[in-house]
Chain A
Amino acid sequence: MLQKKICMLGAFGVGKTSLVRRFVDTIFSDSYLTTVGVKLDKKTLTVGGETVNLILWDIAGEDNASAVRTTYLRGSAGYLLVADGTRASTLDVARSIATRAEAEIGQVPFLLLVNKCDLRSEWAIPESRLDELTALGWTVRPTSAKTGESVEAVFQEIADRVVR
């Protein structure tokens, strides 16, 4: 069976683990539990009629004291960059990680997920900044781990891209 490693990357507290929980277990919890190290999950999808195992690496978020260990990205077929729409600084972190990820593993498919779109009224990231990234060729998707909005779709989309 086809297996693909996909990493979840981003600043701390943006909802990487919540997105995986929503996707894998279809559950969401409002209480925030930080990730230390790496958490592994697996989900089977169908891409073009073929069954694919996604091996999801939920990597601890980046903060001021510790950067994401990009060596963990080795062997990734693609990754999901996650930012928190209510915290503008998390988009800067995502951009920085993308640069380092490309340096580590080269150009592989990735999506930028702007999470917490259920709190759109509190968003601090201007639409213009996302438009700039789209113009650079990035694929930007708003998501909500809380409501489940677009969660299935973005995992399916990254699976499609890495298998293609």
Chain B
Amino acid sequence: MEVLPQTVAESLRSLIYQQRALAYVLVDHSLVLVRAGGFLEHYGLTKLELFEPASSQIDFLEGLLPLAETPFLIRSMEMPSGRVADVHFFGDCDGVWILLLDVTTEHDEARLVQQKAYDMTLLSEREARLIEQLEAANRALAESREELVRTHRRLDQELEDAAYYVRSILPAPFSEPFSVDWRFVPSSELGGDSFGYHWIDADHFALFLLDVCGHGVGPAMVSIVVANMLRSEALADTDFRAPDEVLTALNHVYRMEDHNDRYFSIWYGVYRPSVRRLRYAAAGHHPAILVTGEPAQQRGRIETLAARGPALGIAPAASYACHEYLLPAPSRLFLFSDGTFEVGKSDGAMLEFEAFLDVLAAPVAAGESELDRLLEFIRDVHGPGPLEDDLSIIKLAL
């Protein structure tokens, strides 16, 4: 090593000693403190006792001595006083010299830089984790959505199948000895409408229309079951020619609490062609409408065939009255569900019942189907999109 000029060496020693607050200790081979000097108090190393074990007085020496290598350096050690020192170890024949040089300023500067770097790193790691979590959540959401779409498609298919079945069991229209026609438009969710007609005997023709509360496959199944009971006349000790008796018997066997709290309205009538007499009863159902007069020539006259009584399934002890009406010829009897006239208009208002009756009573041109005309009217009023409820209507024309 180059020998420094005396003045330079002195200046350097003075510089380090003063500015770096040099402190030193010497620990001999028995690990006993034998010399100590410099700015020891600057580092909080006070009350050092010579010729006593070093590590019991200077904590950082615990386990370090004897040195495994020399020289040895511990950078930036925070001392008991709060000052930070580079701690230099080197050995000679007397033992191990330990020098402390103050680097507090450099330490604080380095810490500021490191703090910024670590803050940035932790922030970007956190951001990466959040992005990963977000992407995982998005993937899960997309999977859930796909599952929902699949379920929705399946349910749509099931509703379509149910609607197909409901339609398949409806009787066919006919035209002799009087004509019967109908239209059935299930809502998107499928409602609880069902209807039917059949000959009880050669002179008694039964027709009915029922509407189970609610929408979906459940109400549709209930309506099918009830319609089948009526078609097959499956009510014990009941004269199906007597509408009041039919509804009373049906109300007796059908309890809403046995059917998921579903009740239903029904209009049931029996027509005798030989005497043109219609007998009917209703349970919670709006009136049927009779339009009399020659349809091709003038606006018909409207009669409402109403009957009172609670919906079926609600009051087991209820009884129902029978009404009679002699049907003139020509005349058209319309039996329908509430979805036929409770129609939301495109402006948000509801269709007026009077407007609905006006369409039923309007003159019918030759070859025109007044049921198709009615459907077209309702679709115009409602606007695009499926109807909110089933639309069911039967026309019996004399």
Mark A residues whose CB is within 8 Å of B. 1, 3-5, 12-13, 32-34, 36-40, 42, 55, 57, 60, 63, 69, 71-72, 74-77, 86-87, 89, 124
On whether the beta carbons of A3 and B78 are closer than 8 Å, the reply is: no
Given A63-B118, A75-B64, A76-B63, is A36 in contact with B125 using a C-beta cutoff of 8 Å?
no
On whether the beta carbons of B84 and A42 are closer than 8 Å, the reply is: no
Closest to A33 in B: B115
**Residue B144 at the chain A interface, CB threshold 8 Å:** no
Q: What are the 4 closest A-B residue pairs judged by CB atoms, nearest first?
A: A75-B63, A37-B76, A5-B63, A39-B78
Mark B residues whose CB is within 8 Å of A. 55-56, 59-60, 62-65, 68-69, 72, 74-80, 84, 107, 110-111, 114-115, 117-119, 121-122, 125, 129
Which residues of A are found within 8 Å of B118, using beta-carbon distances? 12-13, 32, 34, 63
Query: Given contacts A4-B62, A60-B76, could you give 10 more A-B pairs where the C-beta distance is less than 8 Å?
Result: A3-B59, A32-B118, A34-B115, A34-B118, A37-B74, A38-B74, A75-B62, A75-B64, A75-B65, A124-B129
Closest to A66 in B: B114
Partner of B107 from A4, A36, A74, A77 at Cβ < 8 Å? A36
Judged by DSSP, the binding face of B is: mixed
Which residues of A are found within 8 Å of B119, using beta-carbon distances? 32
Would you list 17 pairs from A and B whose C-beta atoms are within 8 A, ordered by A residue?
A: A1-B56, A3-B59, A13-B122, A32-B122, A34-B118, A36-B110, A36-B114, A37-B84, A38-B60, A38-B78, A63-B117, A63-B121, A71-B72, A72-B74, A74-B64, A74-B68, A75-B63
Q: Which of A34, A69, A124 has the most CB of B within 10 A?
A: A34
Closest to A87 in B: B125
Closest to A57 in B: B60
- Report the separation of the CA atoms of residues A56 and B191 in the bound assembly, to the nearest whole angstrom: 77
Judged by DSSP, the binding face of A is: loop
**Within the complex, what minimum Cβ distance (angstroms) separates A31 from chain B?**
10
Which residues of B are found within 8 Å of A86, using beta-carbon distances? 129
- Report the separation of the CA atoms of residues A37 and B74 in the bound assembly, to the nearest whole angstrom: 8
On whether the beta carbons of A55 and B75 are closer than 8 Å, the reply is: no
**Within the complex, what minimum Cβ distance (angstroms) separates B54 from chain A?**
12
**Within the complex, what minimum Cβ distance (angstroms) separates B25 from chain A?**
16
Given A37-B75, A40-B78, is A55 in contact with B59 using a C-beta cutoff of 8 Å?
yes
Closest to B132 in A: A124
